[in-house]
Amino acid sequence: MNFQEICDDLNSRKGDGHDARPRTYIGASSIGDTCHAYQTFCMRGFPGNSPDVKLQRIFNIGHALEPLVINSLKDAGIHVMERDPMTGNQYRFTAYGDHFMANVDGIAEVDGEPWIVEVKTLMAKKWREMVKYGIKKSHPKYLAQVQACMGLSGYMKAMLVAINKDTAEIAIQVIDFDVIEWGAISARAEAVLKGSGVRESDDPESWGCRYCFKRDICWEPSKVSYKPQCSRCECSVPDILNRGGSWICTIGGGGESASPASVKATDVCGQFKAWTPPASEAPTHKVHKVNDLPF
Ligand code: SF4
Ligand code: SF4
């Protein structure tokens, strides 16, 4: 058996194309990404490029280390719950009809107060930067994620627990809810919900686009195969007033009711046309009553 060949194979496999089951909501973990097109592709459930095998392994290592880090907190006497007793699943907080969502690693009880717990595994260099400069400077996207978790849950405190992948040292960043940060985050989510799906860059070779998981669907959609569904249709808008992450067809197709602009978009009809980023800042559709919501 040639182990070198096996390793070469294990380390050189490409991703298997595009993820078959992409998320279908604006996620707290990616709300720090300022590209509205990216957020819209996520919200509408378009497939992203799947990571190559090494990157996927890095993600898997991060997930595998999360329980170890949580157990270290428990060893230190911090009461942490990883599962919502109501559902048996990860704690989840949502808004806008479940189109904006946060899944959190745990809820800690500190001095009688609930805290969001977010675990990150970092390379030594990145871990040291975080310890030295603080999360706001070193990892603003993680900060946005944690602020979104607090904004969606209503909790006022969070701890970001980072483990150094080289030394296994643990560092905790204490983060207070910041209403101004949350305002910026929720404004971005609202803009996307209202239809501002503009691209952040008009150059597919820009740094942000080259490493974007939605790059193919954004710039070369013919390379991506996916099933038509109403959320991916340019005629649909997110139903933000009812829970369940559902969609409304603005032309009244696909449903049993004949009332245009109010039909739940559940069944794909012959008028399906895939959503694409608009050329200008002008929203592609209106979402009613977003501004009436308490955000
Ligand atoms: S490829 Fe670029 S423009 Fe397109 S979604 Fe990604 S970051 Fe935005
Ligand atoms: S019912 Fe037809 S037109 Fe309406 S959102 Fe679905 S696919 Fe698009």
Q: What's the CA-to-centroid distance between 275 and ligand 2, angstroms? A: 11
pLDDT band at 293 (very low <50, low <70, confident <90, very high): very low
Distance CA 169, CA 122 (A): 10
Whole-number Cα distances in Å, 268 to 225, 249, 272: 16, 10, 7
Q: What's the CA-to-centroid distance between 254 and ligand 2, angstroms? A: 6
Q: Tens digits of per-residue pLDDT, 282-292? A: 545 544 433 33
Phi, psi of 191 (to 5 degrees): -60, -40
Q: Does 260 have pLDDT greater than 60?
A: no
Q: Does 191 have pLDDT greater than 50?
A: yes
Q: What percent of the chain has pLDDT over 90?
A: 80
Q: Judge whether 205 and 215 are in contact, CB under 8 Å.
A: no
65 close to ligand 2 (CB < 6 Angstrom)? no
| β-bridge partners, 90 | 83
224: number of Cβ within 10 Å: 17
Class of CATH domain 51-181: alpha beta
Q: Whose CA is nearest to atom 8 of ligand 2?
A: 272
Ligand closest to the CA atom of residue 250: 2
At 261, list the tokens.
């602009």
163 close to ligand 2 (CB < 6 Angstrom)? no
- State the chain's mean pLDDT as an integer: 90
At 50, list the tokens.
């799947």
Which helix (H) or strand (E) element contains residue 94? strand 91-95
Residue 280, pLDDT score: 65
Instruction: Sketch the domain layout of the chain as residue ranges.
Output: 51-181
Query: Cβ-count burial of 176 within 10 angstroms (0-12 exposed, 13-18 middle, 19+ buried)?
Result: exposed
Ligand closest to the CA atom of residue 41: 1
